[in-house]
Structure 1
Amino acid sequence: MEKVFKDIIKLLILFVGISGFAQEKTFYIRSLRSIHLQNTPNEMQQLRFQPIDVVYNKITQFLNDKITISADGTYEISAFANINPGVMGSTVKDSIHMELYLIKNPNSSSESILGKTEFKYSYGNFDVAAGLLIGPFEVVMQKNDEISLWVKILPTSTIAINQSDKYDHVTKPTGMQQIAGMRIAKLL
């Protein structure tokens, strides 16, 4: 009887642990679909997600292509995008400069850049997907703040990205499935 009682206690502890983990206050979205970019230097281009891209969500609302924070608090946020300019026929002096941004409340009076990273493609890697990563950082967010992921081709680039409408620039690199993604975890 004592063994059965111990097994029941162990099972209860396991269920409590699992239910606690299942309630983890995080949001994770990742795209498995390629995304086309326009060759428009110095213009921001949003990397849009779809409802099917949501992997886990306990802290945001995702509706009409918008990721909206559900409660005030401190959050840890990170993001990535794998981008391949798709250029063939360049010279040693050519380069393409891109930036990846996490933006809070885009196109509003309270818009702000939460994080960004830059990558410079040079001769030899114009047709290779590079992972642009915005590493984890903490930020205070308010209820109804929106977060989105954007790319900008910098005007310092000396050549254009592949301009074919059939070419997708945000794409999976060799050996990976994810194309772009974002993780948000509520800390406080």
Structure 2
Amino acid sequence: MKHNNQKKNKHYILWIAVFIIYVYLLTKLILFKGSPVDFGIVKVRLMAFLQQPDLIHTRTVNLTPFQEISRDWNSLSLHRPGTAIHLVGNILAFIPLGIFIPVLTGNKLFSGVKVFLLSLLLSLGYEVTQLLTGMGIFDVDDLMLNTLGGLIGYIVFTMAMGLKKVLVGGESHATKKKYNSKESHV
């Protein structure tokens, strides 16, 4: 029993490590556009904003839902691959989050709600940081696409767990353990 718990703890620590790497890479992609991560730049830009809050008026903002999505959708072509990358990339970037959340918090009853809320909040954090620092554009469509990506990840995770149960035999470990403990007392 002790060996099994140690194995579970090692797997959990591995999941946490991979999650930290994922968030680092996501931050590098969203805030730093693939350049090296330098939180000193974020600090300098935030301090500049705090000293001159009117800078907020110089930032590009999209608060109209589906404005950028429909523009990108309508301009999809082989000659403009950036539009497809923007649409699909915002979704793909958050799919892993939809897998990490139920794994790290336990696949419980409200995991879908947790994934929705945490995907939305993480995306909002990135968007607000872009707004305040000027390191990108605050875009409500990015919030929607990122959150959709998290939900797709959760659906993929849920389907994989359902498939695992079918392939393994359909019983959960808790049910097997309870059943086996009854047998040993008979």
**Is the shorter-chain TM-score for this pair beyond 0.5, marking a shared fold?**
no
Q: Quickly name the TM-score band, shorter chain normalised.
A: under 0.3
Higher fraction of helix: 2
TM-score, normalised with respect to structure 2: 0.22
Higher fraction of strand: 1
TM-score, normalised with respect to structure 1: 0.22
Bigger RCO (CA 8 Å, 6+ sep): 1
